[in-house]
Amino acid sequence: MNYIYEIFEKATIRGIADYLLFGKGPDPDDRSYEERLEEPYMRFEKAVAKYDKNPASELLDLSNEITSETASVYMEIGMQIGILLMQDMFNNINREKATD
């Protein structure tokens, strides 16, 4: 019966996303969304500065554009998946009600 509790522990948005994207559970990380986004961006900004000292670097602009578009596409995909999951849940509920 302990395996059920393990499933509930993994049933988080991040856990589901990591499983769908990478086929594994999430790495423990208590940072906020903002902190998780900020850290790699700062590393990237430092790396770009090695090659382009301009604070309005075209590389930074292009990186922001890629990031923005990627986030938009994945949000749209995620919303569609959420709707499909809701439809599946309603179908399951209706099927159970029909057998009662």
pLDDT value at residue 92: 84
pLDDT of 62 above 80: yes
What tokens does 42 get?
A: 């700062």
Task: Give the number of residues written for the chain.
Answer: 100
pLDDT value at residue 26: 65
pLDDT value at residue 66: 92
Cα distance between residue 35 and residue 27, in whole Å? 15
pLDDT of 12 above 90: no
What pLDDT, in 10s, does the model give residues 80-100?
888 888 888 888 888 888 887
pLDDT of 69 above 90: yes
